[in-house]
Amino acid sequence: MRKLLLSAVLSLPLLASAGPVNLLINGSFEDTSAQAGIQGIASGTWQNFLSLPGWTSNANGIEVRHNVSGTAQDGNNFVELDTTRNSVAMQSLSTIAGAMYDLSFYFAARPGTGGMASDTNNISVFWNGVELGLITGVSANKHNWLRYNFSVLGTGGNDSLEFRAAGTSDSYGGSLDNVSLAVPEPGSIALVLGGLLAAGAARRRQARKA
């Protein structure tokens, strides 16, 4: 029993330092092809895709940009969902029923759109068809990436995450990058485990005294 407790205590720093695992596929939109390996696009270019590894869209597609009208928050690519008109990016994934997940992503208004319609950069985020929030931003001369966080509940089935362009459909829209869906930080689990181990040790000391 002592060896088991020692092993658990020694593992706590490893659990606390481990980062959350992203359950989404291609969360930073770096991969643009189903071919083996990471298939990107050239710097200074952009392309419109009906689907990407992990992501699907409607007929208007997902616009992937590499150092065009801004720079990525993570990696080389970011996406814009107002292509020829307002579009969507969707991903389905399996979850555990009743489990809470941490959803995060980065958003930035497209540079140089300050003189356009005030809602041109708006996007909405949905979980299982329910809107979590409307994301808005003010344009500047470069991307000002901001992180957004939501907690979502798993149903135990194929849950859906969806981003939709929600502003004026004018082929100019907000930028999206570095999307992540993860279980809560392992550090919080380690703290709980540490408390349980300490309580168990205290009970054993009391039993020995008795």
Residues 137 and 147 in one domain: yes
Note the Cα 7 to chain centre separation in Å. Answer: 33
Q: According to the model, what pLDDT value does residue 193 have? A: 45
The answer to whether residues 64 and 42 touch, using CB atoms and an 8 Å cutoff, is no
**Does residue 32 or residue 18 have the better pLDDT?**
32
Q: How many domains does the chain have?
A: 2
Q: According to the model, what pLDDT value does residue 154 have? A: 97
Neighbours of 202 (CB within 10 A): 10
Residue 104 has pLDDT above 50, yes or no: yes
Residues 2 and 86 in one domain: no
Residues 102 and 61 in one domain: yes
Q: According to the model, what pLDDT value does residue 7 have? A: 44
Question: pLDDT tens digits, residue range 133-192?
Answer: 999 999 999 999 999 999 999 999 999 999 999 999 998 999 999 999 998 765 444 443
Residues 102 and 203 in one domain: no
Residues 26 and 81 in one domain: yes
Residues 72 and 165 in one domain: yes
Q: According to the model, what pLDDT value does residue 8 have? A: 40
| For the ranges 11-20, 74-83, 193-202, the one whose mean pLDDT is highest | 74-83
Name the pLDDT band for 39 (thresholds 50, 70, 90): confident
Residues 51 and 138 in one domain: yes
Residue 77 has pLDDT above 60, yes or no: yes
Domain of 33: which CATH number? 2.60.120.260
Order the strands of the 55-56 sheet from edge to edge.
51-52, 55-56, 88-94, 158-165, 123-127, 130-135
Question: Which pair of tokens denotes residue 57?
Answer: 């869209």
Residues 91 and 128 in one domain: yes
Q: pTM of the predicted model, to two decimals?
A: 0.79
How many helices (H) and strands (E) would you count in the chain? 2, 12
Residues 149 and 209 in one domain: no
Q: Strands 45-49, 62-66: parallel, antiparallel or unpaired by DSSP? A: antiparallel
Residues 124 and 164 in one domain: yes
Residues 104 and 12 in one domain: no
Question: pLDDT tens digits, residue range 56-69?
Answer: 999 999 999 999 99
Q: What's the domain range around 81?
A: 22-184
- What mean pLDDT is reported for the chain? 85
Residues 179 and 194 in one domain: no
Does an H or E element contain 127, and which?
A: strand 123-127
